[in-house]
Structure 1
Amino acid sequence: MIFHQFFEVESSTYTYLLASEQTREAVLIDPVASEIDIYTQYLEMHNLTLVYSLDTHVHADHVTAANLLRDKFGCKTVLHRNSGVNCGDIFITDQSVIRIGEINIEARYTPGHTNACTSYVAEGMVFTGDALLIDGCGRTDFQEGNAEILYDSIHTQIFTLPDETIVYPGHDYKGRLVSTVGHERLHNSRLGAGKSKAEFVEIMNNLNLPYPKKIDIALPANKACGQ
């Protein structure tokens, strides 16, 4: 498998490329519109064909590259059916599988940050979007957020994966690249060490986070696949 982790500085967003060495088919998870030239260069350098663009949810902090990539490469835009987006090509549900060559990418529905949040599992890795972050999780105070639902999603869909499963989040703001399911289950400051749902809800209700600075631009754009 070919794998690459991209980083967009302004919103601290990670984008992930997975590709089959056999067929040269590729997917991008959570691509950012401003970074399309970087993705294009990487795809061309490695002789890869972009088949799918996957968004883990409807983002509020950056504009997705889904529409730009579809126009440029003819790839399919993939979103969860609860996204409220009408411009996608494929609408997945829990346990849907996207296949590229020898690689199966399993969708695990992980709502709570938004209604459409989906994590993707492949080759001993889980791409958690904004559901589970390194030593944190997505906020639940706007855009259909619900702390109780997020707690259940993470515990049933992510923390049930093997300890050694590598966690690749949608963002990190401290320069961290990767974690593991086992580490987050034990040490995540909001969810780890057996914290109860009530404890988690209390933590989330008292974060007092600022209003997302790009939400008024990003949300309308992302509901049109970045148009």
Structure 2
Amino acid sequence: MIFRQLFDPTSSTYTYLLADAGEAVLIDPVFEQVPRDLALVQELGLRLVATLDTHVHADHVTGAWRLHQRCGSAIGLSASAGAAPVDRPLHHGDRIAFGRRHLEVRATPGHTNGCLTYVLDDASMAFTGDSLLIRGCGRTDFQQGSPQQLFASVHEQIFTLPDGCLLYPAHDYRGITVTSVAEERRFNPRLGGAVDVGDFTGHMNNLHLPHPKLIAVAVPANLRCGRPEGDELPLDTPAWAPLTLRFSGVWEIEPMALLEHAVDAQIVDVREAPEFIDRLGHLPGARLVPLSQLPQYLPQLDRERPVIAVCRSGVRSAQACVLLAKAGFGQVANLAGGMLRWNSEGLPVAADSV
């Protein structure tokens, strides 16, 4: 089984990818991170069969509808949430299959009335959303929250899992990634140890927290499963050329696409001078700027025109793309496979001197 834990730094949200036999599910995808998630799914050769939200989030907009539009993945969310369009309204005890594995749905309301925890078939891991955080839990003062209900949910549906079951929350604001049932049952200051429902209720009713900054935007959007008003999808790829986003965060352009768009771009070859005129040659019109000299060369580049970085195999040029992006260049791409790929496809090269 493939398992990946992904992170959105803006909302401190964890998104989880689970896959088996070529089929994948994403738990708690974030709208702005959909290109990243699709890049990972593509690179791993997977088919995304479903997105599963643990609840109607108040601090970010889900990527469920955007992913559904891009790859046809089913949208799964608690039937109690009252959201639409949901392909799979989920109830306690349901199973979500992917490959030869499945997730069991456990209803764990209390943070919201539609909170779910997803438990892997062998109970080795569970995805608790905001019902149980690492040494904490979600608030209970809005979206039909109830401290009494949350206390029961955690103790009856999560703390009854095996001690060694790893628990993965929807958020952590300190950078901690995972905990376990045994740890939380013992050390969670709100719900563990000898804490009873009266202790917990008294604590939760006196938190006096401000509402999340995005609640007025996020909750209505998430009741639409992240569907924007007007159904307008943001561009997943830049408009100036057909590009592919790699999971590394670097945009790539295929050799044939570059051949078609080269006239509109600035081509920067970041190899060393002897390589520029070796047997691989270089792209017609390319400028030689060794990677070590690129920072000093930036003022000579036109920030209004696309920049294509090139090297022998695509490794150094990928680093150049990162440097260019950090310097504020908004239209940057790496030549996929570098000059090796360009030559293997029999595309035109120049061999003139530097």
Alignment TM-score, normalising by the size of structure 2: 0.63
Match of 2:154, SS state, is helix
Match of 2:26, SS state, is strand
The residue aligned with 2:205 is 205
Greater Rg by CA: 2
Deviation (angstroms), 1:39: 0.3
Match of 1:119, SS state, is strand
2:183 pairs with 1:191 = no
The one-letter amino acid of 1:152's match is: A
Deviation (angstroms), 1:92: 1.2
2:127 pairs with 1:133 = no
The one-letter amino acid of 2:68's match is: R
The one-letter amino acid of 1:158's match is: I
The one-letter amino acid of 2:93's match is: Q
Could you tell me which of 67, 70, 89 is aligned with 2:68?
70
The residue aligned with 2:151 is 151
The residue aligned with 2:79 is 81
Match of 1:219, SS state, is helix
CA-based RMSD of the aligned residues comes to 0.6
The one-letter amino acid of 2:153's match is: S
2:20 pairs with 1:10 = no
Q: 1: distance between equivalents of 2:58 and 2:73?
A: 23
The residue aligned with 2:160 is 160
Could you tell me which of 92, 98, 106 is aligned with 1:108?
106
The residue aligned with 2:172 is 172
The one-letter amino acid of 1:75's match is: S
Higher-RCO chain (CA-CA 8 Å, sequence separation at least 6): 1
Deviation (angstroms), 1:194: 2.2
The one-letter amino acid of 1:91's match is: P
Q: 2: distance between equivalents of 1:207 and 1:120?
A: 27
Q: 1: distance between equivalents of 2:102 and 2:63?
A: 23
1:83-106 residue CA offsets vs partner (Å, 9 max, x unmatched): 111210011110100111111100
Q: 2: distance between equivalents of 1:114 and 1:72?
A: 29
Deviation (angstroms), 1:127: 0.1
The residue aligned with 1:220 is 220
After TM superposition, which residue ranges in structure 1, 4 or more long, deviate above 4 angstroms?
none
Deviation (angstroms), 1:58: 0.6
Deviation (angstroms), 1:208: 1.5
Match of 1:53, SS state, is strand
- Return 5+ residue gaps in structure 1 as ranges: none
1:161-185 residue CA offsets vs partner (Å, 9 max, x unmatched): 0000000000000110000000000
- Return 5+ residue gaps in structure 2 as ranges: 228-354
1:20-52 residue CA offsets vs partner (Å, 9 max, x unmatched): 0x2x00000000000011101101110000000
The residue aligned with 2:55 is 57
Q: 1: distance between equivalents of 2:97 and 2:34?
A: 23
Q: 1: distance between equivalents of 2:84 and 2:56?
A: 12
Match of 2:145, SS state, is coil
The one-letter amino acid of 1:74's match is: G
2:57 pairs with 1:25 = no
Match of 1:79, SS state, is strand
Count how many residue pairs are aligned between Structure 1 and Structure 2. 225
The one-letter amino acid of 2:19's match is: A
The one-letter amino acid of 1:134's match is: I
Identity %: 50
Deviation (angstroms), 1:206: 1.2
Match of 2:104, SS state, is strand
The one-letter amino acid of 1:77's match is: I
